[in-house]
Amino acid sequence: MFAIVSQIILFSLFCLLLCLQVVAAQEKEWREVTQAERQMKTPKVEPDAGAEAIFWEVRVADDYVPRAGFKTVLNHYLRIKIFTERGRESNSKVDIPFGKIPDLGIDVAIKDIAARTVKADGTIIDVKPQEIFERDTVKGNGVKLKARSFAMPGIETGAIIEYRWKELRADSLSYYLRLHLSREIPVQSVKYYIKPVTAPRFYLGMRIHAFNVQNGFVKDKDDFYSMTMANVPAFREEPRMPSEYDVRPWMLVYYADPEDDAGTAEKYWTIRGKNAFENHKSLLKPNGDIRQAAAQAIGDAMEVEEKIKRIFDYCRKTIKDIDDDASTMTAEQRKDFEPNKSTSETLKRRAGTWHDISMLFGAMLASTGFDVRVANVALRSDAKFDQGFTNDFLVRTEIMAVKVGNDWKFFDMSNSYLPFGMLSWPLEGQSSLISDASAPIWATTPVSSSELSKEKRTAKLRLNADGMLEGDVRIEYTGHLSHFHKEFNDDDSPAEREKTLSEMVKRNILSTAEITSISIESVQDADKPFIYSFKIRLPAYAERTGKRIFLRPNIFERNTNAPFTTSIRKYDVSFDYRWSEEDDVTIELPQGFSIESAESPRTIKDQKFFGSHETKISFSDDKRVLSYQRTFSFGGSGNLIFPRNMYLSIKQLFDSFQNADAYAVSLKQN
């Protein structure tokens, strides 16, 4: 009996010792919070900051494991001081994205998250593993992401919060890795360590290209290179600003052939254009089956544009794109899909990647005599392209260029929802390198008109004496607007789509809006507009004051805010694309009330034709039905980017649009 008790005691002591060792190891990973950090009362970088990062450190290590391949591991460590209630609120929850990250194009795994709050009195509260969960998030541009999320416990003014995590990128190197140097809060010190890979027969050298900052990497210990920046201001998004990669400081890390650094930019792009031409020559060469398919697709078409369109439609409608997240293929089926060995195999299997489909489209056109090339295009959603940067990172997006007369026409087979002839907005108005056997051909992609991207809204409504408005609504989107809504909704369930609509109506029209009889059309049909139809009920929509009712006829802009609210601007103003809006609203007025005042707002047009806004208000012969018609367009001049010194002019223009949309008519009880 004594022996058994002794063994239990020894085992308990062993477990206690092991736990103490684990705790000690965890504490060792946290750096000591200094007395100066605890006593810090005001921010150092920005006087009005609600919170400020004391330090932000990232260690990036590229590695090669025999039989396993390459991998990149990033270890992040962030410590933040909370100064105000605003800082407490904005930092109380943390989201760390994982999975498929659009900017990276690869899967990212997150491990070893540790977080804690150090209160002003020195009390430490750790985030427990079970308090870390997964959730879906949506960025401002509508991109859906998954994130590891947690709430910081006991966060208060004067506290310090800190968290660490490990980011794993398997089968990957720091190959076009973006290193951001600013955050949404100011940073007193940001430091990056980066370690190039060492692998057998690997001759590429690491390169670091700086954007909006000087490259300051120096040799450090243990084969690392390091860079430190002090007092980095916060990066805060502004409405309608250029790509963040154009305005915030960051570094691009990549591996390149040493020969890329030799010679001129002209030589580099000449070689790049030749290589693209040679690499795609065999894929764009048609065989008998492809010629036959092209002839059948073209049919009786005689016009050049119609021939291209019929082949375009054939490829998009009959060849399944396995890269499309809304396709009927499961993740397992995509994984098991054997790559096509040739363009003709894509035709036979009726399935392939977006690149396979692009090559089939090109080969079918080539079989009928068209000059077809691959074009690599810069993106307006990325950093501004400069031909002096001798690397193709910023022009890696591949589309097809077809010679029509003396001009090149561009087509993107990776886009499922834009009409024939349109490119996605990041590809519009951009430099493109058209492949060629001898010399590079540079061309600029077209910018679509505002008429092609239209939001058309109609409503037939009845107004009650108590101010309630109800009736039928239809909203129709084309072009870029349609593409956005289709991409956002295509992989959602019907219930999720209805929820998205409900949230949009509550956000833009009235928070108490009730919608029923919902119909959502053409979610996955590229040739038709995306359409919402529903019945709406808006309690207390119009304002009743005594014997008068004040009614805003434009229900669609009832709750929307002016896009520019500040008097100063840090960045240029940039619009994604040209667009237009067309509203047609009829409202049956309540019995016992008549129109007191209802003059149409003035037409708004700027002298340089940037935008226009026109409203017409009319009534039925018996004055019982009000008709409100509105037309709006922006981008008539072709300008989409405006320098910061034009900000006040753009703001005043949109303020005028907003005032016109807020126009109200007055009804008086008889």
First to last CA, the chain: 101
| DSSP codes, 572-586 | -EE-SS-EEEEEEEE
Query: Which pLDDT score, from 0 to 100, does residue 142 have?
Result: 56
CATH of 30-260, one of 1.20.1440.230, 3.30.1330.10, 3.20.20.70, 2.60.40.3140: 2.60.40.3140
Q: For 311-339, how does the pLDDT look when each residue is reduced to its tens digit (9 = 90+)?
A: 999 999 999 998 887 777 777 888 888 99
- pTM, full prediction: 0.85
554 within 8 A of 508, measured Cβ to Cβ: no
Q: Which is nearest to 285 in space by CA: 326, 228, 342, 217?
A: 342
* Assigned token pair, 566: 């500040």
CATH architecture of 265-446: Roll (3.10)
By the 10 Å C-beta count (0-12 exposed, 13-18 middle, 19+ buried), 644 is classed as middle
Residues of the chain with pLDDT under 50: 1-27
- The pLDDT, as a whole number, for residue 27 is 45
Nearest to 90 by CA among 52, 139, 127: 52
Instruction: State how far the alpha carbon of 68 is from the alpha carbons of 60, 64, 65, 339, in Å.
Output: 19, 8, 5, 22
Token pair, residue 637, equals: 């001049």
SS (H, E, C) 41-57: CCCCCCCCCCEEEEEEE
pLDDT of residue 409: 97
Q: Output the pLDDT for position 556.
A: 95
SS (H, E, C) 513-575: CEEEEEEEECCCCCCCCEEEEEEEEECCCCEEECCEEEECCCHHHCCCCCCCCCCCCCCCEEC
Q: Is residue 624 within 8 Å of 589, Cβ to Cβ?
A: yes
For residue 334, what are its two tokens? 């995509």
What's the half-sphere exposure (Cβ side, CA atoms, 13 Å) at 324? 25
Q: What is the 3-state secondary structure (H, E, C) of 51-77?
A: EEEEEEEEEEEEEEECCCEEEEEEEEE
Place of tokens 């004496």: 465
Give CA separation, 118 vs 44, 122, 123, 152, 469, in Å.
Answer: 20, 6, 6, 10, 53
Tell me yes or no: is domain 451-669 CATH 2.60.120.1130. yes
Q: Determine whether 621 is exposed, middle or buried from the number of CB atoms within 10 Å of its CB (0-12, 13-18, 19+).
A: exposed
Q: Return the sign of the alpha-carbon dihedral for residues 312, 316, 321, 325.
A: positive
Contacts within 8 Å (CB) and 24+ apart, 302-306: 304/404, 305/404
Token pair belonging to 405? 């007369």
Nearest to 307 by CA among 245, 264, 369: 369
State whether residue 667 is helix, strand or coil.
strand
3-state helix/strand/coil string of 78-114? EEEEECCHHHHHHCCEEEEEEEECCCCCCEEEEEEEE
Under a CB-based contact definition with an 8 Å cutoff, are residues 596 and 668 in contact?
A: yes
How many other C-beta atoms lie within 10 A of the C-beta of residue 377?
27
Structural domain spans, the chain = 30-260, 265-446, 451-669
